[in-house]
Structure 1
């Protein structure tokens, strides 16, 4: 199955502690709570959400993308509370090369608890199993130790550092690249 065909049907995933599902406008309060945190936004390409209107624009973009078959974002929801605590996504996929990049951001309240790894595992499994991808990669700021650990826990290997490859929030940043191949999974 090609990724673009998969985008027409975003599946839900359940893990021990989490449910991954499509984002909806009813998630506004939860998403704003972590997207308005400067620590969450710091390594991201987007700015701190200064108002709920900014978060609503993000949700609108994602939901419209679902309708067009162009969005691959999942809400990371806690099973126990039903609260959305993060977002996971497939970014920059290539049908020709059978490759996708994983992305995520998570409420600071849940950092260091294995939540990101737990949320991304079913996406890796789905990518290699259902989508028949050859490669899944992750890109991480060199100073984002927590995300580097997540990539390693997913079985990804460090490939190298792209030096000053992105201009984010007024500065050029280095990016570490991690990947896992289907043959390694």
Structure 2
């Protein structure tokens, strides 16, 4: 089966739920507002991201509205990362960009600071990598991070991704140009 834009949109409209030993990955819901605001309002979580710290819960509500509206159109690829033990949403994992012509997707994520360094991002993203290669028939999955975001680089390496290079000053984020490291894994390497 070849993966085309309409097919990816169909998959995203009917986004599957994934369960691991510690996590459930599912669609975000408005009932997640307080949980998502708790980590989106943390400057340490927002620092490497393209979005600003959520100063008010209204900013988080706007984000959730955009994502939830996008689900119906096949335009949103965000999964809530729910901690099974408590039912609390502790992060977001996503297909943040995809090309159907090239059968490629970029992964993204952000996680509550109290859960950093526990293998949670790797556990969640492994499910998206498996889904991308085994069900969406992708050829390439990539990830990007600021050059000083060592935690994200470690996650990408644990996913089996290879470092491809650094894009120099390729993004203007929060008042400065930033360098971006690019990692990828191919279906043939999975």
Q: Give the TM-score, by structure 2 length.
A: 0.96
Q: Given the alignment of the two structures, is residue 31 of structure 1 paired with residue 45 of structure 2, yes or no? A: no
Secondary structure of the residue that 1:71 maps to in structure 2? coil
1:35-87, Cα deviation, whole Å (9 max, x unpaired): 00000000000000000000000000000001212111000000110000000
Shift of 1:5: 2.3
The corresponding residue for 1:14 is: 19
Instruction: Tell me which residue corresponds to 1:163.
Output: 168
Deviations 1:112-134 (A, max 9, x none): 00000001001000000000000
Work out the CA distance in 2 between the residues paired with 1:82 and 1:99. 32
Conserved 8 A contact 2:8-2:74: no
* Gap runs ≥5 in structure 1: none
Q: Provide the C-alpha distance between the structure 1 equivalents of 2:70 and 2:10, rounded to a whole number of angstroms.
A: 13
Count of residues in Structure 1 that have an aligned counterpart in Structure 2? 185
1:41-60 aligned at under 5 Å gives the runs 41-60=46-65
Deviations 1:107-165 (A, max 9, x none): 00000000000010010000000000000000000000000000000000000000000
Q: CA RMSD in A?
A: 0.6
Q: C-alpha separation between the residues in 1 aligned to 2:153 and 2:114? A: 18
TM-score (norm 1): 0.99
SS at match of 2:13: coil
SS at match of 1:77: strand
- What residue number does 2:79 align with? 74
Could you list the per-position Cα deviations for residues 90-113 of structure 1 after superposition, in whole angstroms to 9, with x for gaps in the alignment? Answer: 011011000000000000000000
Which portions of structure 1, spanning 4 or more consecutive aligned residues, are displaced by more than 2 angstroms? Answer: none
Gaps of 5+ in 2: none
